[in-house]
Chains A and B, each alone.
Chain A
């Protein structure tokens, strides 16, 4: 029984080999080495020079362009506005003396008001600092360890979004209407 089994295995192997027909080895793929071409050293030098010149030219071009700034469209006044500036001027009557006087007085009053406001602000800041320093001193008296923990920087505050006060409160569940959207930004190389 074992002999028959071995024979059948052998025949299977031989058919597998036969289907491939032939095969090559790496040695057969080899080829004799080519003779190295000898190049004139002057030619090599010329080539390198040419390469160098090309790169230098590119660098020069880049340096020249580096000084040119990207134009900011918003900063350039459109030509048509310059052209009809005369048309767009408002021809208003000159302010009379009384009006000028009230304006000047108002500006002075405003300056005083803002000054007082600033002084009050500084006083508040002083008061807050004093309060905090006292709290920290008291904490240090109690425990140096707690004090050290208190003066550590709070890194969570680094990315805090704050929304300032607005003129009217937000409407709940208000869906803002969609506007038209034109993408106009230009590309600059």
Chain B
């Protein structure tokens, strides 16, 4: 009988403790969705010295192991024939001689044709002008979008974020945030329904009446087409920048925010 009493009291104790714990955890936090919009690299990375040396070696090995092509054989035959004509062993048939194209001639013609084609440069005018609002720069790197937003009284350059409305999933919030902050011109592809990163911050102590702070869930998305429409009515973002990873970390003023973001940058 006594044992049972103690058991019950222990149970009750545990229950009161757990309710106290949940009460502490049930501080109200605002839920935000943030979006990491990335412009994937357009051109491949420049090879580093080691990669370049290794590539040269592979090309050499490839050449050594290869067999001669038809073109090379023809070139050799041409050389032999030329030698014979010089020595006077073979008579030159004038008509045939004019019409015949040697392998060397063909090669020269091919090289000439190739020279006419000019590939686009790997650096763009926007690189030279350091125009950070353009997606047509730093083609080798991944660029991330920062948008100027008002938090409290101050303007901050942050990943686009917005508060969740009732009835939305976080993914839907993220999609709405991109539409609202960047305009309809920006087409992005979301990578799945799950958030990739998390950051939370508390509001200043005089504004904690409704909720203590904000929990931001970040979603990853890649740019498909278009760019941010800045300063229009439906896209209030006054300023935006596309930055590579290093510049991004420098740009973020808040150290805790930068740390949270760096956790899911590649």
| Residues on A facing B (Cβ under 8 Å) | 81, 85, 87-90, 92, 103, 106, 109-110, 113, 124, 127-128, 130-132, 134-136, 138-139, 141-142, 146, 149-154, 157, 160, 165-171
Contact = CB atoms under 8 A, between A and B. Distances in A.
Interface in B11-41: 25, 29, 31, 40-41
Contact of B195 (A87, A89, A150): A150
A105 to B, nearest CB: 11
Interface size on B, as a range, is 35 or more
B13 to A, nearest CB: 25
Nearest to B224: A160
Given A85-B67, A138-B217, A168 B171 contact: no
Given A90-B67, A165-B41, A106 B57 contact: yes
B43 A166 contact: yes
A142 B200 CA distance: 12
Given A88-B67, A169-B122, A150 B194 contact: yes
B64 to A, nearest CB: 6
A140 to B, nearest CB: 11
A88 B73 CA distance: 8
Given A131-B264, A142-B215, A149-B169, 9 more contacts: A106-B57, A124-B266, A131-B263, A135-B195, A138-B217, A152-B193, A154-B192, A165-B44, A169-B122
Majority SS of interface residues in chain A?
Answer: helix
A110 B50 contact: yes
B197 interface: yes
B119 A168 contact: yes
Contacts of B121: 168-169
B217 A170 contact: no
Contacts of B264: 127-128, 131-132
